[in-house]
Amino acid sequence: MTDLYALSEAALADALVALGQPRFRARQIRAWLYARGASSFAEMTDLPVPLRAALQEQFSLGGLAVAEEQQSRDGTVKRLYRLHDGQLIESVLMRYDDGRRTACISSQAGCAMGCVFCATGQMGFARQLTSTEIFEQAALFSRELQAVGERLSNVVFMGMGEPFANFDAVVEAIARLRGELGIGARHITVSTVGLVPKILAFAELGLQVKLAISLHAATDAERSALLPVNQRFPLTELMAACRTYADKTGRRVSFEWALIAGRNDDPATAERLAALLTGLPCHVNLIPLNPTARYGGAPTALPDAAAFVDVLTRHGIPATVRVRRGIDIDAGCGQLKSKVEARQRPPAAPAP
């Protein structure tokens, strides 16, 4: 069965011609799919009934199957999808009081970057997602929001995987988010651990998409201990690439900093971070750590986080402590998949 989300308008028109239908039906179907958020062929009431029946037999509205879902008290929805080959990926929908509806989507099944505090990094890499598998995560949330009179306003590539390690598929998905879901480039954020050549390539595209860097440390020794990729692309190279991105796009760069109690949350570390970022148009998002089973760190207490912000502010570096969403569920990247896989794993044999 062919997934409609995987077809361009031209490819869908060709498929419809093969069914004896005029090509303009493709525009009608895609309007139902993207502009109206149809979740079934039965809703496409301006199509002939025999065509709706044929579509039902030969096409699906999405290729992602929900394996598990959690809902937080704050309205956050965490969803685990099963792909056609059994791989599991996560997506999150976050609702904010100011009306924003933000989808956090995955770009890979697993991740090869090995960041020590990340549940996805701890599980390793399985495969790249196709551009359709990436796009569908946002499209399905968009469809569900439309059904209740709301709209998807923002998309962040901060789910499972390193987006720039799947560069072409991510760029294609961004084009579809803009063209088919109507999400402006300035409302799309791509987060990377710092693949310098891809940051520079992304800058050349001139997309006006927000770039976010997972930083978490202000010296090479400390960062390499948390993010092994820093051994390939140390801070001098990474910061030069960020300055190039800001110069070429005219956009400030966001830096993500997981606040880990007693490790990277003291005023001296904040001073080193300020020195690293001085002169670069940027913003620092401070996120108290989401603990994982295989990393012993704990989240920074809010008074210490506020003191960290004060140091950066004194140096003219804008910084905010991000409100953590879905704390009462497995909202951290990879956490729901890890829990489900652990639950499905056969129990260990008793010791002899």
| Residues acting as catalytic residues | 90, 333
- With a CB cutoff of 8 Å and minimum separation 6, the contacts of 17 are 23
CA distance between the termini of the chain: 49
CA angle, residues 341, 339, 290, in degrees to nearest 5: 140
| Residue reference for tokens 């990247």 | 333
In terms of Cα–Cα distance, which of 156, 258, 276, 179 is closest to 219? 276
CA angle, residues 113, 114, 115, in degrees to nearest 5: 100
Element (H, E) at 126: strand 125-128
In terms of Cα–Cα distance, which of 329, 263, 320, 318 is closest to 290? 329
In terms of Cα–Cα distance, which of 211, 238, 210, 206 is closest to 223? 238
Q: How far is CA 221 from CA 36, 226, 289, in A?
A: 51, 9, 20
Cβ(113)–Cβ(121) below 8 Å: yes
3-class secondary-structure state, position 148: coil
User: Residue 248 corresponds to which tokens in the numbers above?
Assistant: 């070429």
Q: Where are the alpha helices (DSSP H) in 59-130?
A: 119-123
Phi, psi of 206 (to 5 degrees): 60, 40
